[in-house]
Amino acid sequence: MNDPLIYLDNNATTAVAPECIETMLRCLRDCYGNPSSKHGSGETAKVETIRARGQLAALLGASPPEIVFTGSGTEATHQAILGALALRPGKRRIVTSQVEHPSTLLLLKHLEQDGIEVVYLPVDGEGQMDLDAVERAVTADTALVTLMWANNETGVVFPIAETAAMAAAKGVLFHTDAVQAVGKTPIDLRTLPVDFLSLSGHKLHAPKGIGALFVRKGHKIPPLLFGHQERGRRGSTENVPAIAALGTAAELAATGLDGYAAQVGALRERLESGLLAQLPGASINGAGATRLAGTTSLNLGGPEAEFVLDKLDRAGIHASAGAACSATGTEPSHVLLAMGLKPQDALSTIRFSLSRFTTPGEIDHVIRILPALTPAQPAAAA
């Protein structure tokens, strides 16, 4: 009999929570109206979007009109960055980091072709950002600082509150890609001077194809898709089942937030110490930095990650090498290279990402299996 599946790739995507599936099925069955229609069916669908907007706003400490539902985290980030440039006509500089997600970096590379100057700040060996360096990079010509809240590969958390406050003091807009942070760490936008925040449903147990952008009250940013929906900020008939499921996911996350870091953090510690004890030469990337509770970036110290991941896959354990969206198996991760890892160490790194559904038994199974699947390394030459 096959081993049961152990899913430890939650930074790539999460399992849809049973409650979200229930919400979606109910909406597909009973709320098929168009929320813009004036009749009862439209009203029923609209009520679902209102409820979901409220649930998501509550998780973030936002007010409901500050939430724009989008089709993904990528779309939310694109709208924020392009929106910031529109809000600051004449300013042609954006400050960011070298370790952002490709959904940010690829747009910025594209904008460079249009003459936008983009400053990609380095990180230190732990993957951490120097706040002073961000401050020095902000000039009078800067429209926006955009930094991820937490890194999808290492889990390293950037000093978002401090950076947002610095940007606000300088009158520069601030966006954070919080796709990996929402639902895992407390976020209170009442006290955090962030102008824009992106999130994605499928990272917090809602389905794929739904995201949201927080736009602080007062910022009138243009849509990417024109239409009357979302108060003119995102055209397209609303994906009511997915929006409703994101609302349910937000409420579940809010309920579990207090216990999340302790529960998932303890499992991550157990995984790391269990593996490090058996894998001489292995180390944890970013171990010295503040990290998301559920992410571990394990440098095996030699063996090819792709080889070990393939063996893990056959053993029913699903993990990944760096960012799933860009993993070709041949290119070392830009995040790990920016942290100063040698290409061979980057290519020897496996990411495990846990969720609130991960169990101690699953972690113990990985600790038992992984060392046996990892080729021993020849002793270093004298």
List interacting residues with ligand PLP (CB under 6 A): 72-74, 101, 103, 148, 152, 177, 179-180, 200, 211, 325
3-state secondary structure of 320: strand
Half-sphere exposure of 84 (CA within 13 A, CB side): 33
Q: How far apart are CA 184 and CA 294, in angstroms?
A: 9
| 108 versus 373: smaller Cβ distance to ligand PLP | 108
Asked if 101 and 152 count as a contact pair (C-beta separation under 8 A), the reply is yes
CB of 323 to ligand PLP, least distance (A): 6
CB of 357 to ligand PLP, least distance (A): 19
Reading the block at residue 143, the tokens are 């429209």
| 200 versus 299: smaller Cβ distance to ligand PLP | 200
CB of 14 to ligand PLP, least distance (A): 11
Active site residue 27: no
Residues 6+ apart with CB under 8 A from 45: 27, 31, 32, 33, 34, 35, 37, 238, 240
CB of 183 to ligand PLP, least distance (A): 13
| 279 versus 339: smaller Cβ distance to ligand PLP | 339
Residue nearest to ligand PLP (CB): 73
Torsion, Cα of 89, 90, 91, 93 (10° steps):
110
What's the DSSP call for residue 6?
Answer: E
| 33 versus 201: smaller Cβ distance to ligand PLP | 201
CB of 115 to ligand PLP, least distance (A): 25
Check 20, 27, 31, 325 and give the catalytic one.
Answer: 325
Phi and psi angles of residue 147, each rounded to the nearest 5 degrees, phi first: -135, 140
| 157 versus 308: smaller Cβ distance to ligand PLP | 157
Strand order in the sheet with 67-70: 67-70, 211-215, 196-200, 173-177, 142-148, 93-97, 117-121
- HEC profile of 137-157: HCCCCEEEEEEECECCCCCEE
Half-sphere exposure of 173 (CA within 13 A, CB side): 27
Q: How far apart are CA 77 and CA 129, in angstroms?
A: 20
DSSP string, 222-236: PPSS-SSHHHHTS-S
| 285 versus 374: smaller Cβ distance to ligand PLP | 285
To which H or E segment does residue 68 belong?
strand 67-70
CB of 236 to ligand PLP, least distance (A): 16
**Residues labelled catalytic:** 325
